[in-house]
Amino acid sequence: MPVPPAPLHGDELLDAVTREMVALHKRYYHREPVTARTTLLGDDLIACVFGGIYTDVEKTLIELQRTTTVQETRSDFQTAMRDRFIEHVERLSGRNVLAFISNTHVGPDIEIELFMLGSAQRPPT
């Protein structure tokens, strides 16, 4: 069985999380966010902040005052993607994710993904 890669730390971890989350956005929304930044708050909270996230379809719905529809659809999708997001953060950090919180905002269009980290993962036996 292959040995798992060593956990990343500091800027290397934050850059890798940003790359993974942007890649997931590109794969599923068919576009990258305009801005993407990941920070570590304390030693146990990873915060990913994305700007310029909405597709042309979503922007049209927002212009037509259908903001709630866009936010609900985004929320449902984030819930469906929860395990994939968590898997990437756990693999990169070598730590368990205790909680995942996701939300979007309109005007400006921003998405926030929060990962509350727990202890180090146990290696597979």
pLDDT number for residue 1: 46
pLDDT digits (tens, 9 = 90+) for 84-125: 999 999 999 999 999 999 999 998 999 999 999 998 765 555
CA 78 to chain centre: 9
Q: What is the mean pLDDT of residues 11-18?
A: 96
**Bridge partners (DSSP) listed for residue 46:** 40, 115
DSSP 42: T
Domain limits of the chain?
10-117
User: Whole-model pTM?
Assistant: 0.88
Which 3 state secondary structure label does DSSP give 112?
strand
pLDDT number for residue 123: 58
Which 3 state secondary structure label does DSSP give 113?
strand
